[in-house]
């Protein structure tokens, strides 16, 4: 039978159980961070159990870490979570990239960077954006804290096989339109629940044309589309990305030969198929309080359809018919596991070089990991940002969520490269507008949203 990549990987990992019932899957990689691991470690401790495969478990500190004065954590809950992970890591023998260490970063940056995220794997993490790793051709999904404990103890997880959906991105995007725009456009078109109950395969010529870092941006936001699992067929770009990294397979050629078989067969069947043509897509901006409430920058804010819209308009202090350029921005955040990789920072830097951040804007750049920070500094990107008037921070989740000191003040509108825009996400009363790094960078300079296609000089990849 012709199979999709998802079917192939699922089949390979089932230990017991039949389709329709929960099935026990083998887990190849378990990523952890300080927020969702403490109770799981406590559970192990009280049951007098060990972490079964410390060699397949990797941790980092990201959500609570400050991005300035990083060892001075004021918030007691944050401090406790950070210290607890450090303690647990030692006690249970798990490798954790601690706050301030060279390999530390947002958990969804660390896996790919170290070469841990690979085609063919089942990857889990107590974090909803785990589908990011699906960009490598892996089944990757977020799990709850009790499941974290189960994976610690057994290196397996019970899951019911989801339905499959194929999403084909067709066409060639214009210069100034990026992966972030594709995924926001998809969510705006089909809704935040459209992927619910499905493992989503992103495919098509527009995906093939993307580099790995942009593919990760799309897989990252599978959950905002409602899908726990989003994945892509691995190709030469995937193999080249993994090659030479710390945890790349020792016999790389042998691994690649296997990975090449783990792609969707041409006539594989799916429970649902959607397509989205990116050729005429404009840069996207979210106006409301979920990612579905997004429009092309050339459009005006939509009419009120229901109570959710009404409430969103109230919270955002916006009105139907307004243009994105009329949104009074106060903050710009370039960061998060969606868009804080090196290529994101390079793109943003290229758009602000030699220019100045508008007077009324506070703009911060937060590299997603310390390796990205170092690389960016080698390229002089820090200087470009600093000269333009951006702040250049230490890595972490930062302003993506209000769990550390980086917060958008109440009532202030923030152009943000992150993935979530619900009420209070970036701080109490904060008003988030999701967009690409290019849109955010240019918004910082202009002091408002403009169509980045007007300033972009590069040819779209
Ligand atoms: C704190 C963590 C559990 C959470 C998640 O699961 O996604 C966070 O990363 C987020 O993005 O909201
Ligand atoms: S950067 Fe944001 S979305 Fe990503 S793991 Fe951190 S809090 Fe979650």
Does residue 4 have a pLDDT over 90? yes
What pLDDT sits at residue 461? Answer: 43
258/335 same-domain check: no
The ligand 1 atom nearest the CA atom of 425: 12
Number of domains, the chain: 2
Domain membership of residue 107 (yes or no) is yes
- Residue 111 domain boundaries: 5-275
Please state the φ and ψ torsions of residue 230, each to the nearest 5 degrees: -135, 135
Whichever domain contains 406, its CATH number is: 3.30.499.10
Task: Give a yes or no: residue 297 inside a domain.
Answer: no
Average pLDDT over residues 263-286: 98
pLDDT for residue 6: 98
Whether residues 249 and 344 share a domain: the answer is no
Tally the C-alpha atoms within 13 A of residue 454's C-alpha that lie toward its C-beta: 9
For residue 261, how far is its CA from the centre of ligand 1 (angstroms)?
33
Looking at the structure, do residues 188 and 336 belong to the same domain, yes or no? no
356 occurs within a structural domain:
yes
Maximum Cα interatomic distance, the chain, rounded to a whole number of Å? 61
User: Which ligand is closest in space to the CA of residue 108?
Assistant: 2
What is the C-alpha separation between 101 and 104, in angstroms, rounded?
5
Is residue 295 assigned to a domain? no
Co-location of 330 and 196 in the same domain: no
* Tokens coding 293: 């409430």
- Measured CA angle at 2 (ends 138, 254), to 5 deg: 45
pTM confidence score: 0.98
345-353 mean pLDDT: 98
Q: What is the mean pLDDT of the chain?
A: 97
How many angstroms separate the alpha carbon of residue 267 from the centre of ligand 2? 36
Does residue 153 lie in a domain region?
yes
| Structure confidence at residue 457 (pLDDT) | 64
Q: Are residues 268 and 381 in the same domain?
A: no
Rounded to the nearest whole angstrom, what is the distance from the C-alpha of residue 257 to the centroid of ligand 1?
A: 35
- pLDDT single digits (tens) 366-402: 999 999 999 999 999 999 999 999 999 999 999 999 8
Residue 285 lies in a domain: no
> Does residue 268 share a domain with residue 331?
no
Answer yes or no: is 299 within a domain. no
Q: Is 418 in the pocket of ligand 2 (CB under 6 A)?
A: yes
Residue 459 has pLDDT above 60, yes or no: no
Which residues carry a binding-site annotation?
337, 397, 400
Give the Cα separation of 250 and 262 in Å (integer): 19
> ∠ at Cα 446 (431, 369), nearest 5°?
65
> Integer distance in angstroms from the first to the last C-alpha of the chain?
35
177 CA → ligand 1 middle, Å: 27
Q: Tally the residues of the chain.
A: 461
308 and 270: one domain?
Answer: no
Does one domain contain both 68 and 211? yes
The reply to whether 219 and 97 lie within a common domain is yes
- Give yes or no for residue 15 having a pLDDT over 50: yes
Instruction: Show which of 255, 275, 295 is a domain's final residue.
Output: 275
* Residue of 31, 104, 419 to mutate, ligand 2, most atoms within 8 A of C-beta: 419
Q: From atom 4 of ligand 2, which residue's Cα is the shortest distance away?
A: 337
| Closest-lying ligand 1 atom to the alpha carbon of residue 223 | 7
Residues 308 and 430 reside in one and the same domain: yes
Tell me if 336 CB under 6 Å of ligand 2: yes
Q: Which pLDDT score, from 0 to 100, does residue 238 have? A: 99
- Is any atom of ligand 2 closer than 6 Å to the C-beta of 408? no
Say if residue 360's pLDDT is above 50: yes
Q: 49-84: per-residue pLDDT in tens?
A: 999 999 999 999 999 999 999 999 999 999 999 999
Per-residue model confidence (pLDDT) at position 402: 87
- The average pLDDT across 101-123 equals 98
Angle at which helix 179-190 crosses helix 212-220, to 10 degrees, equals 20
Query: 17 and 166 share a domain?
Result: yes
Same domain for 269 and 313: no
Compute the distance from residue 420 Cα to the ligand 2 centre, in Å.
9
Annotated binding site for [4Fe-4S] cluster: 337, 397, 400
Tokens coding 329: 């921005």
| Predicted confidence (pLDDT) per residue in 159-195, tens digit | 999 999 999 999 999 999 999 999 999 999 999 999 9
Indicate the residue among 275, 294, 316 that finishes a domain: 275
Label residue 456 by pLDDT band (50, 70, 90). Answer: confident
Q: What pLDDT does residue 400 have? A: 98
Question: Domain boundary residue among 258, 275, 292?
Answer: 275
In a domain, 62, yes or no: yes
């Amino acid at each position: 039978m012709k199979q999709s990549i998802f079917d192939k990987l699922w089949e390979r990992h089932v230990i017991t159980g039949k389709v329709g019932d929960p099935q026990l899957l083998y887990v190849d990689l378990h990523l952890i961070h300080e927020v969702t691991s403490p109770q799981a470690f406590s559970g192990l401790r009280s049951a007098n159990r060990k972490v079964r495969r410390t060699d397949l478990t990797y941790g980092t500190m990201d959500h609570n870490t400050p991005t300035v004065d990083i060892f001075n954590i004021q918030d007691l809950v944050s401090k406790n979570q950070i210290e607890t992970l450090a303690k647990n890591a030692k006690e249970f023998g798990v490798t954790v990239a601690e706050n301030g260490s060279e390999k530390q970063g947002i958990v969804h940056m660390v896996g790919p960077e170290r070469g841990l995220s690979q085609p063919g794997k089942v990857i889990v993490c107590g974090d909803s954006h785990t589908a990011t790793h699906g960009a490598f051709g892996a089944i990757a999904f977020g799990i709850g804290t009790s499941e974290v404990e189960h994976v610690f103890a057994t290196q397996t997880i019970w899951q019911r096989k989801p339905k499959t959906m194929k999403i084909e991105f067709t066409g060639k995007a214009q210069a100034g339109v990026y992966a972030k725009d594709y995924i926001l456009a998809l969510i705006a078109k089909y809704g935040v629940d459209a992927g619910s109950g499905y493992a989503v395969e992103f495919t098509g010529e527009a995906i093939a044309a993307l580099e790995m870092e942009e593919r990760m941006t799309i897989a990252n936001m599978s959950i905002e589309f409602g899908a726990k699992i989003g994945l892509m067929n691995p190709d030469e770009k995937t193999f080249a990305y993994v090659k030479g990294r710390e945890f790349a397979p020792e016999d790389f050629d042998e691994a690649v030969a296997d990975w090449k078989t783990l792609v969707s067969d041409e006539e594989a069947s799916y429970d649902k198929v959607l397509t989205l043509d990116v050729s005429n897509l404009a840069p996207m901006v979210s106006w409301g309080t979920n990612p579905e409430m997004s429009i092309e920058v050339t459009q005006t804010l939509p009419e009120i359809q229901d109570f959710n819209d009404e409430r969103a308009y109230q919270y955002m202090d916006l009105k139907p018919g307004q243009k994105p350029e009329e949104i009074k921005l106060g903050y710009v955040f370039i960061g998060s596991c969606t868009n804080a990789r090196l290529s994101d920072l390079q793109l943003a830097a290229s758009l602000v070089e030699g220019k100045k951040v508008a007077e009324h804007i506070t703009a911060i750049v937060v590299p997603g990991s310390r390796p990205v920070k170092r690389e960016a500094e080698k390229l002089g990107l820090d200087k470009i940002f600093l000269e333009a008037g951006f702040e250049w921070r230490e890595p972490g989740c930062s302003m993506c969520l209000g769990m550390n000191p980086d917060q958008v003040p109440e009532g202030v509108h923030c152009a943000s490269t992150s993935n979530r825009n619900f009420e209070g996400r970036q701080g109490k009363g904060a008003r988030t507008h999701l967009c690409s790094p290019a849109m955010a960078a240019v918004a910082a300079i202009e002091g408002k949203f403009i169509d980045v296609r007007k300033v972009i000089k590069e040819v779209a990849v």
